[in-house]
Structure 1
Amino acid sequence: MRLVIGAPGNGTVLKDAIKERLAVDRRVSSVVDLSAPGITYPEVSFRAGRAIAEGEADRGILICGTGVGTAIAAGKVPGVRAATAHDLITVRGSVENYDAQILCMGQNVIAAPAAWALIDIWLDLRHDPTSDYGLKVGEIEAYEARRA
């Protein structure tokens, strides 16, 4: 799986801890860090969203203070769904139900070991487009296509 990861300054510590674990995970073929000194949460989120929308990455992980700002910004990129999740049920639902390509977390909300435990599961999750939720995701995609 090709991943992008990114964070503004208030997510760097957690981002770096997660990136270190991803770098040695056999399920991950590449990890591109989109962070830069002074980058804002909207800009790093737009970069991650574009990388996914343009087929350069399969999924992304964004870290800010709460995970909310990055999810809002990344979700503005057409074709991208981002979800903030800090618990197992939400992480599972974000992919299995809603086909979210970007997982957003908050450095001020979750500790690195707990974040990694969830990301470890997240890496194996898949969306079933034939499920009832698949139809709903299709409805969202159709709405977005009409607005483009």
Structure 2
Amino acid sequence: MSIAIGCDEAAFGLKEKIVAYLKDNRYEVEDYGVYDTQPILYPDIAVKVAKAVADGKHERGILICGTGIGMAIAANKVPGIRAAVCHDPYSAERARKSNNAQIMTLGARVIGEELAKQLVSIWLNSEFQGGGSTAKVEKISEYENQFLKCCN
């Protein structure tokens, strides 16, 4: 599985640890930055990762900032993307199983390294279950398509 990953300066250290963890577990990883602790505008990274996932270059994406919230908001602006903040095992699992999120976001100032690795593992090993959630995910896509038609 190919994973796109990106972060802001607040999450640089955690991103480096997650990249090593993914590579140790034989995932293909493409790092979209940042590559140091210099301040940046995180929406630029979020959109790069989200576009790469939406275009099919990667199956999944991981974005990390201070809280995970800003990255999720920015990534969700890319059509076809469902990004979810994951701070505990249940949210990581349900992001995939119920919401078919292709991108998980993490908060480097909210969770530690070991929990982050656990959440990444749970999320990567979970698949969309469909069932009662299928109509909900389809409805989200319908609204997205309506807004795209009206505004383009």
| TM-score normalized by the length of structure 2 | 0.91
Displacement, 1:128?
A: 2.3
- Deviations along 1:49-74, one digit per CA (max 9) or x if unpaired, are 10011110111111100000000000
Alignment of 1:28-39 (within 5 A): 28=27, 30-36=28-34, 38-39=39-40
State the distance in 2 between where 1:48 and 1:39 align: 15
- SS of the aligned residue for 1:83 comes to strand
Code of the residue aligned with 2:60 in structure 1: it is R
State the distance in 2 between where 1:40 and 1:103 align: 19
State the distance in 2 between where 1:72 and 1:52 align: 16
Code of the residue aligned with 1:132 in structure 2: it is G
Displacement, 1:8?
A: 1.1
- SS of the aligned residue for 2:15 comes to helix
Q: Where does residue 98 of structure 1 map in the other structure?
A: 99
Q: Where does residue 126 of structure 1 map in the other structure?
A: 127
Alignment of 1:1-148 (within 5 A): 1-26=1-26, 28=27, 30-36=28-34, 38-129=39-130, 131-148=131-148
- SS of the aligned residue for 1:69 comes to helix
- SS of the aligned residue for 1:45 comes to helix
Q: Is the 8 A contact 2:51 2:78 kept in 1?
A: yes
Code of the residue aligned with 2:34 in structure 1: it is A
Code of the residue aligned with 1:142 in structure 2: it is E
| TM-score normalized by the length of structure 1 | 0.94
State the distance in 2 between where 1:39 and 1:147 align: 29
**After TM superposition, where is structure 1 displaced by more than 4 Å over at least 4 residues in a row?**
none
Code of the residue aligned with 2:64 in structure 1: it is I
Percent identity, aligned pairs only, is 38
Q: Is the 8 A contact 2:81 2:102 kept in 1?
A: yes
Q: CA RMSD in A?
A: 1.1
Displacement, 1:84?
A: 0.6
State the distance in 2 between where 1:90 and 1:84 align: 8
State the distance in 2 between where 1:35 and 1:119 align: 18
- Number of matched pairs: 145
- SS of the aligned residue for 1:90 comes to helix
State the distance in 1 between where 2:100 and 2:133 align: 9
- SS of the aligned residue for 1:105 comes to strand
- SS of the aligned residue for 1:121 comes to helix
Q: Is the 8 A contact 2:89 2:118 kept in 1?
A: no
- SS of the aligned residue for 1:23 comes to helix
